[in-house]
Structure 1
Amino acid sequence: MSNKIVKEFASTESNFIEDIIDGMQDWVRVIDRDGNILFVNKPMCEGLGYNAVGRKCYEVLGRSSPCANCISSLKGENIPNCKEETINGRVFSVTSSPLKSFQSNNVEAVIEVLHDITELKMLSQELEKQNEQLREDLSIARKLQCSLLPKQQFIGDKISFSYIYKPCEMIGGDFLDIFEIDEDHIGIYIADVSGHGIAASMLTMFLRAAIDKSSLSPSKVLTQLYHEFNKNGFENELYISVFFGIINTSDYSFAYSNAGLNVSPVLFSGNEFKLLRATGIPISNWVDKPEYTEVTQKLSSKDRLLFLTDGIIEIKNKSSEQFGEDRIIEHLLKNDLKPSSSITKLVDKALAFSGSSIHDIMDDITVALLEMK
């Protein structure tokens, strides 16, 4: 050992290690196989208010008998290397190490280092309380968001409608709605807002409150929604992608516009299908004057309209292959089940493809199927 080190940090060479241990903030003690305390460093003595050498290890913990898993009686390889103990109202993280005899190389004692984690435990408990409150708030937000969704079966004289809505988090960024405008017109939209969680759910609530449910022009509805969005001063990274359409039940026509939703709804007519494409920027603050194309599509009895976001399309299997639009279209073409049964089987098929459960999805899944009677 360097004389310079001894001179710098210890009173004598023989006291070098003890002086170092006494200089630690953590408590240190050595316990023999009979539970007797052989050594206690200075910080532990000061913390306890007495020198515990010669006492039983469990007495320091406020116990009258040995602990059920007393480490002093265990073999070295079975000594638990970390645990927690409470001493005089303070919580300590205790790290234990075997101390072997130089002569026999057998474990004859245990060294314990006790690190005070009382404040950390208090912070952890406070954080858990806050997390519990957050979970309760999120649960309320989820119930509120779900209460704003349409009824599972929207049935009129000429329309049957069903949907599945599965957010990947407690509250989601997808949304859809269907509503009567007047006796001859039904409005419907599906949306995917930026992000997930609380911020996304707030945007879905803004969408439902701000969208015009009286206009008969989808492009005007989206233009008005765009300007209403900008009045609220949302951040640049926030936006809403939404497809909006109006069904005229008197002449079986469907007028629609798209504000940046990247998944086009699909019209199924007999054994054929058609993607309902339209161009338009998402509801955002990216441009001053947005332009939305309005398209009108003729419908017939038994025609089906499939609305969905990209969550189900982007579900992947173990080979990182996406479920994709083709499988969705194939599924809808091969069966004429009721809308509720058809989309339920579609989601089940997508989950089976991925080999995961609905609880493991990485994006919101929203699928709706509308059928003309």
Structure 2
Amino acid sequence: MSRQKIKKWLENVYNCPYLIMVVVSSVIAMLCFDEIGIRFFDNNISTERTVSVVGDIVRAEENQALGDPPATLEETPDSGETNTEIQNVISETMGGESENAGERKKEEAVLEDNNELNIESQDAQTQEIQEDTEKGVTKFLPYTPLEIESRYYSDAGKIALTTEYPYTIANDSYFNDAAFLGDSRTLGIYDYVGLEGADFFCDNGMTIFKLLKDDGVTEQGTGHKVDLKQVLQERHYGKIYIMLGMNELGYGNTTMYMQEYLSVVHQIRAWQPDAIIFIMANLHVSREKNNMETEFNNININDKNVACARLANGVDIFYLDSNPMFTDAEGFLQSEMTFDGVHLYAKHYDKWRQFLTEHGVEKATPNEDTE
């Protein structure tokens, strides 16, 4: 082999590694890149990451200038349009949330208003229910009773209060269809209150046990004894006031008194179905007249008042207690108002008149009854 050929072979061998490297590099490049330059990743790489990375590289290469080295993911330039779009989306999202927040506030405000209306409506309904419940109720105020040894009465341990009701203010004409039944205190109302349109059937010593008996009762204004049974069947009354109990303090006992009172009320109701019946409390006596050694005392009077108050129903039978207008803090009839510890001076009947006119009851119509 000539020296010249050997030299050429050595040069080829010397340059061979570079050729090999070029060839190997070319082969690798051919295996890793297709004709459009998209790199293939190993199948073990997750699909989501592959799609993301490939997309980023494609966008980078599309923006790449001729002769620049291939762009990698880290070298991908930020797209102004993309950032603007992202910012717009963020702004729109935030703006939407802001608008939605405003709408939510409005909705919350509406809900709060509705809740307040519902609460007010419930309060109104509760108040109406409470008012309906209280209307027509006769309440009893309890106290610690005393031990009483008497066959006539016991200590009731409570005080009956005027039936609760939306009473109206009445004028004199309101009593034109009224009848008053009672004893000497009712006679005082006839003499000094001046209800000229009303009928009064009363006598000194009258009791609930004698009221409807054949002996009759005096009709004030005529002075004649009349059979009250017959009168109540022949005349029509819109209101009937009954006050009896003082003369029963030493007769029978409270249970008998209540039973007879109930019987009388039922009989009057049968004869006067449209009348409003007012059961009037018996006035207490003064401290001087109050005698705990006998049956003539305020505990016995109160026992009778509580008994008859139980008959009130708040619809067409009402209990009226005028005692607070005439008694002191201890429940005794004020001494300056009475001449005998039992009956009022004439000038104090004006208070009784005021009490009666302040407790008018209008008869409910059929429509009101059904509501």
Q: Which has the higher helix share?
A: 2
Q: Which has the higher contact order (CA 8 A, sep 6+)?
A: 2
Q: Tell me which structure has the larger Cα radius of gyration.
A: 2
Instruction: Say which structure is richer in strand.
Output: 1
TM-score by length of 1: 0.24
